[in-house]
Amino acid sequence: MVHHSLIDWQEGLSSGDLSSLFLSMGCLDRIEALDPHLKATIYLNRARSLAIAKSSDDRLRTGQRGPMLGIPVVLKDNLNWDGTATSQGSKISKNYCSPYSATVVRRLLEAGAVPVAKANMDEFAMGSSGEHSVFGVTRNPWDPSRVPGGSSSGSIVAVAAGFAPFALGTDTGGSVRLPAAFCNVTALRPTYGVLSRFGITSMASSLDQVGPVARSAQDLAMGFSVMTGRDPLDSTSLDLHGSERLANLTPGNLKGLRIGLPKEYFEDGIDPEVRLVLGTALQRLASEGAELVDVSLPYTRYAIETYYVICTSEVSSNMSRFDGVRFGLRKESSSLHGMMSCTREEGFGTEVKRRILLGAFCLSKGYYEAYYAKALKARTLLAQDFERVFREVDCVLTPVSPTVAFKIGAKTQDPLSMYMADIFTVTPSLAALPCLSIPAGFATVPDDPGKRLPVGMQLIGPPLSDVKLLEWAHAFQQVTDHHLQTPPLES
């Protein structure tokens, strides 16, 4: 039951064989049984979730139908849902209660989806592992001694562990794609602007996007379909062409599909086991008729530096609102300045403080031109690399991560090696392109004989090709079963 697809559940709800109340109760029970160990969720309100499920059942009984009507979902805790805590995994906002809902949350609720939990996350979405949360470390359901990836750790684990068939995360530089690869689920970072950012806590505003997560591209498309469409509350929001194809996704044509393989993404540094899995997936695509084309994205080598200058600069500005004055934690002191600095000292974790300092430095007089302005130029060059390549190919395929999920604690003392985990995901974020992380197979782990851990691959498309990416991924998932494998949990 728990690992059935969203589409199966939707059929059961439409035919009357299932009720939303039954499904939502099942999800809540599973969370209560398994989550004390996995720590994927941080806020449940059983009564409220079940009341929503009942009203979705009423709508179903009156004959209403819809892709998400009655479907349980999990929301990352940086998405406002009115009347619930929105903590962002931080002590500074642990007790903040949202007075309104994010547009994406409102659209899901209007479509009849049933939020069953808010999900744990790296503090303010800064992190790649799921280890930086005031609520504790989220564990990878495939191996609890390993990280699930971050920052949308809880949303991804919720789907992988069968707590809900659909979840929302956010993705600034890889935060749904990396954990999706580590936990064997499918996650989309849409073209910048396709999902409204209204009501999500800003981290780096020119990079932040909401990221839908599900086990398959087909399930993901159903949830995505009810959230697209321009939002007057977000001036950067866009309409997505072809979005009417999402609710009934059909497999795209792999025959003749020109897939670019950028040589910079397949150089040294990728674990041999990961390389092997990707090689097999590529052969599979080729045997379905796809054409594999060698391409080059030379500015990729500047991507990590560029990302961490732009990201930290925007972070330092966005975090200034957490000052103890309007909301969240407040530490009293004899002066206003003292109150603000005591509040921020006590309320923010190490990684957030590190980024505020780095960003403030990059933006300061005398360094702005050398760092921030230069990074903006590099960002343009990175985007132009892709524009050139998309004249030759339909999409680009890369690894999501050079390794499988690493051990908890392995990178926490070394921020640079943590940042390098994002090496393959930050570039399309900087270029504002849509990209999808999909299960590619399983790798053996040399230091852990007998263990097999998931590997993901990233499909990157030109602007607004989100629907096509999902159609191609759906075609791949029709001929492979990696995405159907589930982690070894006790129930």
Residue by residue, DSSP assigns 159-226 as HHTTS-SEEEEEESSSTTHHHHHHHT-EEEEPPTTSS--TTBPPSSTTT-EEEEEESSHHHHHHHHHT
Task: Tell me the CA end-to-end span of the chain in Å, nearest whole number.
Answer: 11
Give the shortest CB-18-to-ligand GLN separation in angstroms.
34
Cβ proximity to ligand GLN: between 18 and 204 the closer is: 204
Rounded to an integer, what is the distance from CA 252 to the centroid of its chain?
23
Give the shortest CB-349-to-ligand GLN separation in angstroms.
13
Cβ proximity to ligand GLN: between 259 and 408 the closer is: 408
Give the shortest CB-302-to-ligand GLN separation in angstroms.
16
> For 296, what's the count of Cα atoms within 13 Å in the CB-facing half-sphere?
2
**Residue 325 and residue 335: Cα distance in Å, rounded?**
13
Give the shortest CB-16-to-ligand GLN separation in angstroms.
41
Binding site residues, ligand GLN, CB under 6 A: 125-128, 151, 170-175, 203, 311, 422
Residue by residue, DSSP assigns 299-352 as GGGGHHHHHHHHHHHHHHHHGGG-SSSSSS-----SSHHHHHHHHHHHHS-HHH
Cβ proximity to ligand GLN: between 254 and 378 the closer is: 378
Q: Find all residues with CB under 8 Å of 408, minimum gap 6, and list them.
A: 129, 131, 137, 139, 145, 146, 147
Cβ proximity to ligand GLN: between 94 and 354 the closer is: 354
**Residue 311 and residue 315: Cα distance in Å, rounded?**
6
Give the shortest CB-175-to-ligand GLN separation in angstroms.
3
Give the shortest CB-305-to-ligand GLN separation in angstroms.
13
On the question of a cis peptide bond just before residue 151, with omega within 30 degrees of 0, the verdict is yes
Q: Give the three-class secondary structure for 275.
A: helix
**Residue 238 and residue 231: Cα distance in Å, rounded?**
8
Give the shortest CB-383-to-ligand GLN separation in angstroms.
18
Cβ proximity to ligand GLN: between 20 and 313 the closer is: 313
Closest CA to 67 of 214, 228, 219, 217: 219
Cβ proximity to ligand GLN: between 198 and 424 the closer is: 424
**Residue 135 and residue 47: Cα distance in Å, rounded?**
22
Cβ proximity to ligand GLN: between 243 and 306 the closer is: 306
Catalytic residues, by residue number, are: 76, 151, 175
Helix axes 20-38, 6-15, angle to 10 degrees: 150
Which residue in the shown chain puts its C-beta closest to ligand GLN?
A: 175
Give the shortest CB-429-to-ligand GLN separation in angstroms.
7
Q: Are 219 and 7 in contact (CB under 8 A)?
A: yes
SS (H, E, C) 119-164: ECCCHHHCCCCCCCCCCCCCCECCECCECCCCCCHHHHHHHHCCCC
Cβ proximity to ligand GLN: between 322 and 442 the closer is: 322
Q: Find all residues with CB under 8 Å of 127, minimum gap 6, and list them.
A: 150, 151, 351, 418
Q: Are 399 and 441 in contact (CB under 8 A)?
A: no
